[in-house]
């Protein structure tokens, strides 16, 4: 038996309304012709978007929310709870605590302190703010492939920031890290498990070995990649990095990236609940009617959508975080699609693929041309041509050193500044695996029309 989302929502809304049916009727906003007209205008305006939910959209990091998340969010909106304080949303606060505990359990943490946030950036801000409270003035270090907001967050917090170069696969160069740990005052290393550009995974297991010698805090930024801990398809080295997560001090993971949630759902987890002491505040407006923990007491943001917690909780009930479960299979499908696309690119005369297969579900490739400049121009025209045929890819300017060293013999491959515009695809929808042949045909057709018979 399958149900339509709007049917389920209408039924559940009546059930929710029953709980308040004893109240005298209060006026609500009536909707008339004007509202109908405006909603049609809204629908028309929203045509001005790429078709993010469709499998032929294989560009940026965008994944449609699960229908149950959408329905649960809409249902909660009729209450519009605020998870800042229990008085603003008791039920949704309880659901947030359970949903965050499910995230912590996925990383095998026996205890934790954590909450949802508006997104990964704010969650990372909290992680680095706590790091700064524990080690005032000490530097934050992250790889040059880490999310661009880490250096900006560090400057907001007044903490020195060090960018560690990445290796030819986009992972933090651990020789440079070790050297900087010897010579600089580094308090926290940000370890990215799944970089936003190419999905590379820093070697957390080896960084933990360095931690024994140098003593620093480890923050794992797994905003995009965190859920891959459930996937059985990872290479041994990628698996080793994910298996080390339980020993990190804090983790950021975004349910609005891979967790099938609408935007406005990031999260921060701390391994040591005692860091809650840094959040203490005594706002005179906050309505503390209960002695139980208010989420606003352990969060830097004040008002937050309780609906986000409700949507995440509902999705977790339907698709629990268990290895081998349907949710995990969806991640594996994307990873398998990425590996297959990389394999086909490797064999194609039109394209240049990096020598290592994708660690997660992001694939990037260059167009086969004599120079990085010519390759970049062709990438742009293939991108445009593919979009005309409804295949939506992304473009990314990446260092030429990410390609085999003899690719462009006249271009120094050790110069981090020399970049080539690549095509890039985040295959994060489970359906991408089934659609791979369609994607590939359209990509080849676009390349055929732009590259013609150019050979090197």
Ligand X SMILES: *Cc1c(COP(=O)(O)O)cnc(C)c1O
Closest to ligand X by CB, 88 vs 226, is 226
Tell me which stretch binds ligand X (CB under 6 A): 17-25, 117-125, 181-189, 243-251. Answer: 117-125
For residue 223, state whether it binds ligand X (rule: CB under 6 A).
Answer: yes
Under the binding rule (CB under 6 A), the answer on residue 308 touching ligand X is: no
E strand or H helix that includes residue 443: helix 436-451
- We find the least distance from the C-beta atom of residue 257 to ligand X, in angstroms, to be 6
Asked whether position 126 contacts ligand X by CB under 6 A, the answer is no
Min dist CB 252 to ligand X, Å, is 7
Structure tokens at 15: 């059930």
Least distance in angstroms from the C-beta of 196 to ligand X: 4
Backbone angles phi, psi at 60, to 5 degrees: -75, 180
In the bound complex, what is the minimum distance in angstroms from residue 259's beta carbon to ligand X? 11
Tell me the C-alpha distance between 412 and 401, whole Å: 8
| 202 sits near ligand X (criterion: CB under 6 A) | no
Return the structure tokens found at 71: 């329905």
Smallest separation, CB 195 to ligand X (Å): 6
Residue 171 near ligand X by CB under 6 A: no
Applying the rule CB under 6 A, the residues between 34 and 93 that interact with ligand X are none
Q: Based on CB atoms, which residue is closest to ligand X, 395 or 428?
A: 428
Nearer to ligand X, 126 or 254 (CB): 254
Measured between alpha carbons, how far is residue 106 from residues 228, 360, 366 in Å? Answer: 10, 18, 36
Q: Can residue 196 be called a binding residue for ligand X (CB under 6 A)?
A: yes
Q: Which stretch binds ligand X (CB under 6 A): 9-17, 167-175, 219-227, 385-393?
A: 219-227
Q: Where are the beta strands (DSSP E) in 278-353?
A: 351-352
Q: Would you say 145 or 233 has its CB closer to ligand X?
A: 145
Nearer residue to ligand X within complex by CB, 268 or 386: 268
Beta-carbon contacts of residue 222 (< 8 Å; ≥ 6 apart): 192, 193, 194, 245, 251, 252, 253
Three-class secondary structure assignment of 138-183:
CEEEEECCCCCHHHHHHHHHCCCEEEECECCCCCECHHHHHHHHHH
We find the least distance from the C-beta atom of residue 407 to ligand X, in angstroms, to be 27
Choice between 252 and 369, CB closer to ligand X: 252
Neighbours of 357 (CB within 10 A): 16
Interface pick for ligand X out of 254, 332, 340, 361 (rule CB under 6 A): 254
CB closer to ligand X out of 170 and 187: 170
d(CA 22, CA 6): 26
Q: Rank residues 55 and 266 by Cβ distance to ligand X and give the closer one.
A: 266
Question: Smallest distance from the beta carbon of 41 to ligand X, in angstroms?
Answer: 29
CA 416 – CA 254 distance, rounded (Å) = 29
Q: Min. distance of Cβ 192 from ligand X in angstroms? A: 5
376: contact with ligand X by CB under 6 A: no
Least Å from the CB of residue 66 to ligand X: 18
Q: Among 427, 434, 376, which Cα is nearest to 59's?
A: 427
Residue from 192, 203, 267, 299 that binds ligand X (CB under 6 A)?
A: 192
For residue 179, the minimal CB distance to ligand X (Å) is 24
| Cα distances (angstroms) measured from residue 253 to each of 39, 222, 363 | 34, 5, 21
> Is 118 within 8 Å of 263 (Cβ atoms)?
no
55, 120, 259, 306: residue in contact with ligand X (rule CB under 6 A): 120
Q: Does 119 bind ligand X (CB under 6 A)?
A: yes
| Nearer residue to ligand X within complex by CB, 267 or 368 | 267
Token pair belonging to 300: 């830097």
Give residues 257-276 in contact with ligand X (rule: CB under 6 A): 257, 266
Nearer to ligand X, 270 or 351 (CB): 270
Contact between 221 and ligand X per CB under 6 A: yes
Instruction: Choose which of 147, 217, 335, 344 interacts with ligand X (CB under 6 A).
Output: 147
From 48-56, 77-85, 119-127, 440-448, span contacting ligand X (CB under 6 A): 119-127
Specify the residue, 221 or 249, whose C-beta has the smaller distance to ligand X.
221
The tokens for 3 are 């149900």
Q: How many CA atoms lie within 13 A of 309 on its CB side?
A: 27
Q: How does DSSP assign 74-139, residue by residue?
A: HHHHTT--BTTSGGG-HHHHHHHHHHHHHHHHHTT-SS-EEEEESSHHHHHHHHHHHHHHHSTTPE
Closest CA to 89 of 268, 287, 237, 228: 287
Cβ count near 21 (within 10 Å): 8
CA nearest to 96, candidates 104, 229, 49: 104
Binding site for ligand X (CB under 6 A): 119-121, 124, 147, 192, 196, 221, 223-224, 254, 257, 266
């Amino acid at each position: 038996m399958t149900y339509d989302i709007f049917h389920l929502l209408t039924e559940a809304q009546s059930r929710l309304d029953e709980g308040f049916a004893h109240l005298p009727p209060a006026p609500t906003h009536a909707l008339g012709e004007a509202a109908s007209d405006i909603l049609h205008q809204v629908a028309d305006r929203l045509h001005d978007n790429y078709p993010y939910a469709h499998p032929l959209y294989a560009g940026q990091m965008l994944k449609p929310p699960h229908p149950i998340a959408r329905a649960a969010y809409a249902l909660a909106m009729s209450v519009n709870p605020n998870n800042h304080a229990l008085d603003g949303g008791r039920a949704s606060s309880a659901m947030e605590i359970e949903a965050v505990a499910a995230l912590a359990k996925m990383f095998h943490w026996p205890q934790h302190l954590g909450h949802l946030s508006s997104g990964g950036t704010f969650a990372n801000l909290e992680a680095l703010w706590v790091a700064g409270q524990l080690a005032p003035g000490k530097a934050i270090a992250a790889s040059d492939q880490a999310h661009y907001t880490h250096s900006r967050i560090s400057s907001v917090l007044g903490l020195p920031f060090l960018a560690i170069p990445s290796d030819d696969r986009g992972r933090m160069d651990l020789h440079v890290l070790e050297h900087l740990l010897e010579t600089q005052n580094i308090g926290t290393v940000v370890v990215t498990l799944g970089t936003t550009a190419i999905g590379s995974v820093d070697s957390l297991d080896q960084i933990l070995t360095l931690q024994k010698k140098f003593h620093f805090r480890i923050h794992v930024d797994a905003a995009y990649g965190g859920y891959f801990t459930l996937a059985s398809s990872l290479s041994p080295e990628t698996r080793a990095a994910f298996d080390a997560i339980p020993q990190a001090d804090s983790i950021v993971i975004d349910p609005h990236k891979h967790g099938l949630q609408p935007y406005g759902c990031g999260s921060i987890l701390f391994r040591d609940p005692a860091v809650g002491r840094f959040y203490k505040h005594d706002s005179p407006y906050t309505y503390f009617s209960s002695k139980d923990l208010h989420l606003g007491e352990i969060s830097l943001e004040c008002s937050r959508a309780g609906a986000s917690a409700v949507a995440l909780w509902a999705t977790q009930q339907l698709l629990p975080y268990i290895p081998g479960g349907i949710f995990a299979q969806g991640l594996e499908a994307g990873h398998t699609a990425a590996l297959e696309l990389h394999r086909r690119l490797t064999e194609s005369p039109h394209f240049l693929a990096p020598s290592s297969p994708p660690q997660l579900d992001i694939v990037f490739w260059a167009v086969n041309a004599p120079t990085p400049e010519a390759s970049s121009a062709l990438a742009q025209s293939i991108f445009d041509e593919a979009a005309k045929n409804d295949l939506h890819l992304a473009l990314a300017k990446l260092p030429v050193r990410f390609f085999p060293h003899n690719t462009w013999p006249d271009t120094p491959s050790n110069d981090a500044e020399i970049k080539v515009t690549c095509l890039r695809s985040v295959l994060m929808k489970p359906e991408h695996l089934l659609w791979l042949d369609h994607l590939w045909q359209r990509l080849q057709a676009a390349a055929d029309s732009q590259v013609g018979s150019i050979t090197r």
